[in-house]
């Protein structure tokens, strides 16, 4: 493995979970939109069947919370940034399918208005941050928390672990999607047309800073927010907890 190139990718990767335009070829971002369309339809149907009027303010607050924390990028030396997403916390409160729709709306607004993440990459970003992160993190939380009391410390710790695992799995998928580009999108001479780095660089670069830093940010934000909600009795009973 060329660790020099890994370092270059690490330093210049930018906000690597928000994939920008030009990093994914049409074969990939088209396929990701194709994957997301049935997931969006499924999420809409689930929400239509399960949504209660009492949950609407919570969904609105959750969308605002996710939007705000995604805008607070955490810098590290060299110009690379990252951020928390809040996907696991939202899944605990409103369910993973509702979270998928909430994060999708947030990502679309960020891409169209703030240029944070590419328009062509909306499908891929929604898959990574709106589907993989909440579902992996939520079911990790459920596995660890078990049948413990709703206000137990075990649930707070489980939420933090879920946030950490979910974000890192999302980063892994991001690395795979980027590393796939030199294989499927290149000139006749083998020159990459989009992301030029192979799996041996993109996967370590994506996972490295998330395992070391941003996963912990997600875990701390998730635990702190959940502990606050428990302490203030903001929500006394959660359907999806």
Domains and CATH numbers, the chain: 3-232 (1.10.1760.20)
> Which pLDDT score is estimated for 76?
43
> Which pLDDT score is estimated for 32?
96
> Which pLDDT score is estimated for 218?
86
> Which pLDDT score is estimated for 238?
56
Cβ(101)–Cβ(47) below 8 Å: yes
> Which pLDDT score is estimated for 236?
55
> Which pLDDT score is estimated for 239?
53
> Which pLDDT score is estimated for 212?
85
Among 227, 233, 226, which Cα is nearest to 93's? 226
Block residue for tokens 């939420």:
159
> Which pLDDT score is estimated for 213?
81
> Which pLDDT score is estimated for 7?
37
Counting as low any pLDDT under 70, the low residues of the chain are 1-17, 53-55, 67-84, 233-241
> Which pLDDT score is estimated for 77?
40
Among 157, 44, 52, which Cα is nearest to 102's? 44
Length of the chain: 241
> Which pLDDT score is estimated for 6?
39
> Which pLDDT score is estimated for 62?
72
Q: Give the pair of three-digit tokens for residue 183.
A: 């294989």
Q: Give the pair of three-digit tokens for residue 2.
A: 């060329």
């Amino acid at each position: 493995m060329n660790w020099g190139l890994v370092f270059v990718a690490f330093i210049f990767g930018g906000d690597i979970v928000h994939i920008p335009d030009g990093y994914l070829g049409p074969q990939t971002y088209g396929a990701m939109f194709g994957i997301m369309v049935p997931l969006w339809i499924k999420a809409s149907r689930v929400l239509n069947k399960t949504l209660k009027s009492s949950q609407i303010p919570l969904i609105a607050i959750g969308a605002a919370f996710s939007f705000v924390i995604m805008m607070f990028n955490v810098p590290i030396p060299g110009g690379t940034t990252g951020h928390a997403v809040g996907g696991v916390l939202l899944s605990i409160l409103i369910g993973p399918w509702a979270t998928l729709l909430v994060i999708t709306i947030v990502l679309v607004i960020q891409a169209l208005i703030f240029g944070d993440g590419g328009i062509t990459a909306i499908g891929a970003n929604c898959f990574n941050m709106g589907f993989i992160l909440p579902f992996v993190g939520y079911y990790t939380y459920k596995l660890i928390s078990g049948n413990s009391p709703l206000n137990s410390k075990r649930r707070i710790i489980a939420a933090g672990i879920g946030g950490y695992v979910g974000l890192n799995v999302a980063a892994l998928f991001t690395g795979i999607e980027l590393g796939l580009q030199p294989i499927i999108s290149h000139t006749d001479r083998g020159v990459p047309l989009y992301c030029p780095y192979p799996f041996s660089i993109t996967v370590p670069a994506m996972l490295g800073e998330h395992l070391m830093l941003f996963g912990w940010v997600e875990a701390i934000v998730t635990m702190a927010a959940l502990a606050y909600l428990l302490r203030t009795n903001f929500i006394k009973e959660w359907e999806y907890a």
